[in-house]
Amino acid sequence: MKIGFLGLGTMGTPMALRLAAAGHELSVWNRTEGRTKPLLREGAIAAGTPAEAELGADAVVSMLLDDAAYEEVFFGIHRLIDALSPGVLHIACGTVSVAFSERLAVEHARRAIDFVGAPVFGLPSDAVEGWLWVVAGGVEQAIDRARPLLAAFARGVTIAGHEPSQAFAVKLAGSFVPPRFLIPVEGAPGP
């Protein structure tokens, strides 16, 4: 599958590397150009803009930092939202606010673009090993299209609902749960 991958930070780079190792053809973009080098060594193509990364892609996976980064790429200087091809799948793995994800969903729907909110739980080392956990939200058809890509870097997927914003709500809430409640510790009392 042809994938445009946006955002090659400490989580995005190993996620993209796993997609490349799974045999997907990647076109990669990052705001800091030098971050593309590890992917280029694995056969990815460097894109000069987010729109160039999307060109001819079946899917776009974004692992951008926050609302401000998504704003810049999709609605600001790069205006990727206007360059996305109808029918393309966008999987947003970075963490954004519920309000911003709702805005993304509306704009994607207006353009007939499948949108899946798919924020991840885990550390960079989990991304390297393919052991991230994904919380996904979106219509069933879009999630079904996303599953093979998510499988490249995740050990599991929890479906939060039919709206992408539901996945981001779970991610944001989960970010405030103390780790001791997420990982069972032998001999520790239960909740």
Domain residue ranges of the chain, discontinuous segments joined by +: 2-179
Residues annotated catalytic, as ranges: 171
0.75 exceeded by the pTM? yes
pLDDT at 178: 55
pLDDT of residue 147: 98
Which CATH architecture is the domain 2-179 placed in?
Answer: 3-Layer(aba) Sandwich (3.40)
State the pLDDT at residue 158. Answer: 96
Closest alpha carbon to 58 in 87, 82, 17: 87
pLDDT by residue, tens only, the chain of 191 residues: 999 999 999 999 999 999 999 999 999 999 988 999 999 999 999 999 999 999 999 999 999 999 999 999 999 999 999 999 999 999 999 999 999 999 999 999 999 999 999 999 999 999 999 999 999 999 999 999 999 999 999 999 999 999 999 999 999 998 876 554 444 445 444 44
